[in-house]
Amino acid sequence: MNPLLTTFDTPYATAPFSKIKNEHFEPAIISAIALSKDEIELITNSKEQPTFSNTIEQLEFSGMQLKRITSVFFNLNSAETSDELQKIAQEVSPLLTEFANDIRLNKELYKRVKTVYEQKKSLDLTQEQQTLLNNQYKMFVRNGANLNESNKEKLRSIDSKLSKLSLKFGENILAETNDFELHIENESALSGLPEGAKEAASLTAKQRDKKGWVFTLDYPSYVPFMTYIDDRELRKKVALAFGARSFQNNKFDNQSVLLEIVNLRFERANLLGYKSHSDFVLEERMAENPKKVLSFLNDILDKAKPAAEQEFNQLKKIALKESVPQLQKWDGAYYSEKLKKELFDLDEEELKPYFQLENVLNGVFLVAEKLFDLQFESINNIDTYHYDVMTYKVTDSRGILMAVFYADFFPRKGKRNGAWMTSYKDQWKKDTENSRPHISIVCNFTKPTETKPSLLTFSEVTTLFHEFGHALHGILANTTYPSISGTSVHWDFVELPSQILENWCYEKEALDLFAKHYKTNELIPMELVEKIIKSSNFLEGITTLRQLSFGLLDMQWHSQDPTNIKSVKEFEDTSFQNTSLYPVVNENCMSTAFSHIFQGGYSSGYYSYKWAEVLDADAFDYFKSNGIFNKTIAQKFKDHILSKGGTENPMELYKRFRGQEPNSNALLKRAGLLK
């Protein structure tokens, strides 16, 4: 019996991971596609006149089993993959793309949806129903429903190729990340590296049956190495390896994969009547079009660049003291840490003992309790896909189930780098049932060692709060329809709940909830809190410039005709000309490992981090002026933002919460870029 094709008879109907074998996925997906096709046929073959109920709602709730199976599969393919799973992904992705196109290019189905859409003024629909109807109609129109048969076939072919290429892109980066290790047997080479990072590298060596220390390109290994190792040549070696991922003219090279992706995206947009991929994507964003995005990014660039250049000169001065005449990329983190120590007398290592992972996690739970009356209870009766994964039952103040929450914190071979939030099951309402979501956050933090628990850097603390902000967006979802529930919002609005939560990390009132020394349990001293607050704008100009450079690179790849681009590296270097501070490194290329835009759904959307920062700075300013745990404002944030998903235009939701449109001055003021 295939467990994926049965009702999950588990606590809270969670995925029965221990019963699921790799060989179950492909037959389950094929079977669920067939079932979904039957559901679609019932709608299209209906003799009844199309109505909102028998067409729009039925379409919305079709394919639920397929969505459930694929969410389990693709989440595993990111967090716990293997060669076998990657092979299955390459097999099933074209089938899923073909099925999605079968729906979007189905003439009879489109006709029924269009009939309902054309009657919408005379229908008595709620705001959420209107949004669903608009979304469904646009889903057909924006994906080729009005094309002739020959162009529909072209579109199918493009989509099938794209689904395989984005998988290939991610697989190549993971392979390159896993392939590299730096094995050091002479302890003197580790000069400058803190004890904790040394111990973690020793543990990695032991796990690989090696003596000494092993460093990898996983963030918990890479970041401390680049920040603290005194040996400049070793830093260079590791930085070059990191920057050369999938840019080495080997079987894991992404240059041709990337060029094929951008060309196919451009061809697809043209086929659908759009000037570029960005024009197609941004039509459904708050930003609306490429011109607005570029104007937004360049406006911030004008304000950030002078500050960035000033900060870079400070770094150069520190490097010069150590006889480094030319600052290179492998010097950035190292001299930044020295400058931070000089300016604020703040050492990241001094902070880590106050940020034990379990305490920080408990702290973010307490913040959620104080703001939104949520309770998180650790439970162990739920199946997980790896023994590192922790599970929680989330309830409200009345004890009613709000969500199941998974947390997966440590790097391993089958897990991609970075941090993300995802869901195994969306929230929706049907037949008086409010079916609750299963939400997960996945990070890559330093593992506990034989002598120390997992101690986070302050940057990792903000990462945990960030991903947990996304999780709250899913946990507090309260909409009728799954396709507009939780984080299913405009892409440049999705980062608001995550980015606003990071602000609590800089507040003493919040830090006092969890920042306790892992040995003595003493609260973080006020002087350290003050240093954290003072250093919150540290190198903000450089950080902003870096983020803008990625947003602009994304727009360069996607807002113009890419057909004449022959060299990925040359194109990238040209794009970075106005934002780069360091000399160009010929052996490195950022684009070939830019998973966000070539694998993760952020194409023409990377600007949204900065866009949402304007919203989050303005929104947090509201909290800050009235108390960071102000219940009334938290309730408004929950009612108008977190619970509403994508049911309305995000600017309308924001104005209902804030009483006004966001003011970008709040961001510039917070970043110290407003004179």
Q: Which amino acid is at 220?
A: P
Weakest-pLDDT range from 137-141, 226-230, 659-663: 659-663
Domains of the chain (ranges plus CATH)? 3-146 (1.20.1050.40), 180-230 (no CATH)
Q: Which of 552, 557, 554, 550 is nearest to 262 (CA)?
A: 557
pLDDT score of 656: 96
How many whole angstroms separate alpha carbon 411 and alpha carbon 79? 9
Selected catalytic residue, list 467, 502, 507, 572 = 467
Neighbours of 311 (CB within 10 A): 20
DSSP, residue by residue, 403-425: EEEEEE-S--TTS-SS-EEEEEE
How many whole angstroms separate alpha carbon 556 and alpha carbon 574? 10
pLDDT digits (tens, 9 = 90+) for 479-496: 999 999 999 999 889 999
Which helix H or strand E contains 666, and what residues bound it?
A: helix 665-670
Structure tokens at 611: 């866009």
pLDDT score of 476: 98
pLDDT at 44 over 90: yes
> Nearest 5°: phi and psi at 424?
-95, -15
Q: What is the pTM of this model?
A: 0.93
Helix, strand, coil percentages for the chain (3-state, nearest 5): 60, 5, 35
How many whole angstroms separate alpha carbon 516 and alpha carbon 86? 42
User: Which letter, b or e, does each residue of 338-350 get, where b requires 16 or more Cβ atoms within 10 Å of its Cβ?
Assistant: bbbeeeeebebbe
Assign 675 a pLDDT band (cuts: 50, 70, 90): low
Structure tokens at 538: 């540290």
Q: Which amino acid is at 78?
A: S
Neighbours of 399 (CB within 10 A): 7
Q: Do 546 and 311 touch, CB atoms closer than 8 A?
A: no
**Beta-bridge partner residues of 401:** 395
**Beta-bridge partner residues of 440:** 406, 422
pLDDT at 668 over 90: no
Average pLDDT over residues 21-46: 98
pLDDT score of 491: 87
pLDDT at 333 over 70: yes
pLDDT digits (tens, 9 = 90+) for 71-94: 999 999 999 999 999 999 999 999
Q: Which SS3 state, helix, strand or coil, does residue 252 take? A: coil
pLDDT at 673 over 80: no
Chain centroid to CA 301: 23
Neighbours of 561 (CB within 10 A): 12
Which helix H or strand E contains 606, and what residues bound it?
A: none
pLDDT score of 329: 97
pLDDT digits (tens, 9 = 90+) for 606-651: 999 999 999 999 999 999 999 999 999 999 999 999 999 999 999 9
- Going by DSSP bridges, is the β-strand pair 213-215/375-378 parallel, antiparallel, or unpaired? unpaired
Structure tokens at 301: 């660039």
pLDDT at 163 over 90: yes
User: Which letter, b or e, does each residue of 637-675 get, where b requires 16 or more Cβ atoms within 10 Å of its Cβ?
Assistant: bbebbbbbbbbbebeebbeebbeeebebebbbebbebee
pLDDT score of 633: 98
Q: Do 254 and 592 touch, CB atoms closer than 8 A?
A: yes
Tally the C-alpha atoms within 13 A of residue 163's C-alpha that lie toward its C-beta.
20
Structure tokens at 11: 């606590």
Average pLDDT over residues 103-117: 97
DSSP 593: G
pLDDT score of 666: 80
pLDDT at 361 over 90: yes
Q: Do 578 and 231 touch, CB atoms closer than 8 A?
A: no
Assign 405 a pLDDT band (cuts: 50, 70, 90): very high
pLDDT digits (tens, 9 = 90+) for 216-264: 999 999 999 999 999 999 999 999 999 999 999 999 999 999 999 999 9
pLDDT at 399 over 90: yes
pLDDT at 674 over 80: no
Is 467 a known active-site residue?
yes
Supply the Cα-derived Rg of the chain in whole angstroms: 25
Residues 6+ apart with CB under 8 A from 11: 379, 381, 382
pLDDT at 664 over 80: no
Number of H helices, E strands in the chain: 27, 9
- Identify the residue with better confidence: 667 or 454: 454
**Secondary structure string (H, E, C) spanning 74-126:** HHHHHHCCCHHHHHHHHHHHHHHHHHHHHHHCCHHHHHHHHHHHHCHHHCCCC
pLDDT score of 669: 80
